[in-house]
Amino acid sequence: MEIVNGIVQDASIGGIPLVSKIVSPKGTHNVRTLKPLSTSNGNPYYIVVHNTGNSASSADARAHYSWLQGVENNDFSYVSVHFFVDEDEVVQTCPVTEITYHAGDGSTGKGNSQGLSIEICENHNYPQAEENAIQVIRAFMDHYGIPIDRVQPHRYFAPNKKLCPHLILKSESAWQTNWASFQQRIQGADVAPDDDTQSPAKSVDEIAQEVIAGKWGNGSERRERLTAAGYDYSTVQARVNEIMGGGSASATPSKTVDEVAQEVIAGKWGNGSERKDRLTAAGYDYSTIQARVNELMGGSSGGSSSNSIAVGDTVRITCNTYSTGQSIPSWVKSQTHKVSQIKGDKALLGYPDGIASWVPLSGIVRA
Ligand SMILES: [Zn+2]
């Protein structure tokens, strides 16, 4: 890597296309601090990793450059970052040899004054953005001789203990374990993203039962905790409502989703549109039942011959969330993907040259 006055000269970093958008110094220098890093050789000693915390679809790496330039022009606040990484590219916004304000530990804190700051965007294909960030981190570790224990999350430096990067750290109770897993991914050249190694993902049903048992709090607390743990709040809440509603005394004893799904598998509800009509007429939500049927069929290995999917197959995604619980954008669903790996009840699609994301086997069909 060639770096001149803190600005990377290459067309890419670690294979990720680089766009150089250095913020122009203006006003009180609250983005462009113009202060050299306080390390003995002037080079970054730490790599500090963040999530942008902005899931708006337009909030990509270039948008964050424009935001930073606006902050600099208008003297809004002291905030700055060296690099933003999204699913497509990495954008440099400040020279790496200059102090940036991102870790919340002041102008002399180790994170700000000795760190190279990287923000991972979360506006679109987050798994891909995270993969790209790993390539960029590796490239800087190589270039500056930074060991893995000096690659740390914002949380490590922040006096206010901000849970950042929240999509990697996931929860207050498990952030250190989850960070260790991320460090392993950085180190393992061929390790594919796999959330299972860090926090065993529970099924929507399991989490919904925990919510009902009071383990996830109420209201906005529940929403925040579920989201931080990587679950899709609305999916879980919908299941909770369903279970709670199902338990209420009603004239016709309503069966659980599982019971009806088993009946469907046993052939009691017919096929195709007949099945849909009959289930709907009986008061069941067809798509919920059918999703559970697919889940049960996919779960039993070798159970159904037509639905079994193998590595190398081209598939289409029918579910709404990745195995990580993050929602799948419509453009990903509109494309076909190649199965790169199958593990347990999930498949890794498009790795390494695709979306590189784990998707439940029950949520894909052969294209
Ligand atoms: Zn942060």
Which architecture characterizes domain 309-367 according to CATH? Roll (2.30)
**Res 355: pLDDT:** 78
**Res 151: pLDDT:** 97
CB 81 within 8 A of CB 31: no
More confident of the two residues 132 and 67: 132
Nearest alpha-carbon partner for 264 in 244, 234, 284, 246: 284
Q: Return the bridge partners of 118, or none.
A: 49, 83
Compute the residue count for the chain.
367
> How much distance in Å is there from the Cα of 51 to the middle of ligand 1?
6
CA–centroid distance for 250 within its chain: 41
CA–CA gap between residue 100 and residue 35 (Å, rounded): 9
pTM over 0.85: no
pLDDT in tens, 320-335: 888 877 788 777 888 8
> How much distance in Å is there from the Cα of 266 to the middle of ligand 1?
51
Q: Is the pLDDT of residue 14 over 80?
A: yes
**Res 105: pLDDT:** 92
Domain chopping of the chain, boundaries: 3-191, 200-253, 255-305, 309-367
> How much distance in Å is there from the Cα of 105 to the middle of ligand 1?
11
> How much distance in Å is there from the Cα of 121 to the middle of ligand 1?
11
Which architecture characterizes domain 3-191 according to CATH? 3-Layer(aba) Sandwich (3.40)
pLDDT in tens, 68-99: 998 888 887 789 999 999 999 999 999 999 99
Q: Is the pLDDT of residue 53 over 60?
A: yes
* Mean pLDDT lowest among 43-47, 118-122, 284-288: 284-288
> How much distance in Å is there from the Cα of 171 to the middle of ligand 1?
14
